[in-house]
Amino acid sequence: MNAIEMKGLTFSYGGTRVLNGVDLTVPQGGFAALTGDNGAGKSTLIRILLGELSLTGETGSFQMLGKDIRQFGDWKEVGYVPQNGMDAYKDFPASVEEIIQANLYSQIGLFRFAGKKEKEKVTEALCEVGMEPYRKRLIGKLSGGQQQRVLLARALVNRPHLLILDEPTTGVDEKNTEEFYRLIKNFNRDDHMTVFMVTHDRKRLAGLADTIFRLENGVMRQITIPGEAGFDGDI
């Protein structure tokens, strides 16, 4: 089964076509990276993957984890790490622990406090990204790299099969970017978690992703990995 399988998918905002027949296949357990110029439609594609944009009136097909996206309902299976939101979190009055717990609400229920089982899941996710000692801190008081690791823990707490990341290390320093990618690679390799990541970080893609796509003029092009025969330097 493929984690993502799009065939000839179109998408328009009003009358303006952004995706012009996208073919995209990411096998389960794969690590795919997506690049493309500003305005190419990468965020639009991510919003489609997250079920945020309606495909009514569009053509083509899109199956996610074996289900037609129009019928897909198991969102616990899909983890999402957004772009670095330093400014967005600056005065956000929530602790690290609360941010992660909030992603467990479908299990906790809105009118119940997190129990022992849920607390354990939060602890496990925080330990995996090395942020357990920070669980009581306000998210806005952490560095950009630390915030991204918390958002990764938030995505991981439901043990998703598919992890989607949108330029996760923008504004994060070299050392923390390396560490962040190492974590993602480990989850991909050890837990067979499928990864789909939008990135402009060309130099790090070799050794990380097993497939690189580039979105250009509304269509998807697969690119040879740097270091492999046929690589033309164009990412």
Please give the residue ranges that form the binding site for ligand ATP (CB under 6 A).
Answer: 13, 18, 36, 38-44
Nearest approach, Cβ of residue 59 and ligand ATP (Å): 18
Nearest approach, Cβ of residue 45 and ligand ATP (Å): 7
Nearest approach, Cβ of residue 220 and ligand ATP (Å): 12
Nearest approach, Cβ of residue 123 and ligand ATP (Å): 34
Q: In the complex with ligand ATP, which residue's Cβ is closer, 39 or 233?
A: 39
Nearest approach, Cβ of residue 9 and ligand ATP (Å): 14
41: left (phi over 0), alpha (psi -120 to 50) or beta: left
- Helices 144-156 and 116-128 pack at an angle, to 10 degrees, of 130
88, 91, 93, 99: CA torsion to nearest 10: 30
Q: In the complex with ligand ATP, which residue's Cβ is closer, 42 or 121?
A: 42
Q: In the complex with ligand ATP, which residue's Cβ is closer, 39 or 230?
A: 39
Alpha helices in the chain (DSSP H): 42-49, 86-89, 96-101, 105-108, 116-128, 144-156, 174-191
108: exposed, middle or buried (C-beta count within 10 Å: 0-12, 13-18, 19+)? Answer: middle
Contacts of 53 (CB under 8 A, 6+ apart): 11, 44, 47
Distance CA 126, CA 96 (A): 9
3-class SS letters over 91-155: CCCCEHHHHHHHHHHHHHCCCCCCCHHHHHHHHHHHHHCCCHHHCCCEHHHCCHHHHHHHHHHHH
Q: What is the largest CA-CA distance in the chain?
A: 57
Q: In the complex with ligand ATP, which residue's Cβ is closer, 15 or 227?
A: 15
Q: In the complex with ligand ATP, which residue's Cβ is closer, 151 or 215?
A: 215
Q: In the complex with ligand ATP, which residue's Cβ is closer, 52 or 91?
A: 52
Q: In the complex with ligand ATP, which residue's Cβ is closer, 38 or 71?
A: 38
Nearest approach, Cβ of residue 19 and ligand ATP (Å): 9
Nearest approach, Cβ of residue 15 and ligand ATP (Å): 10
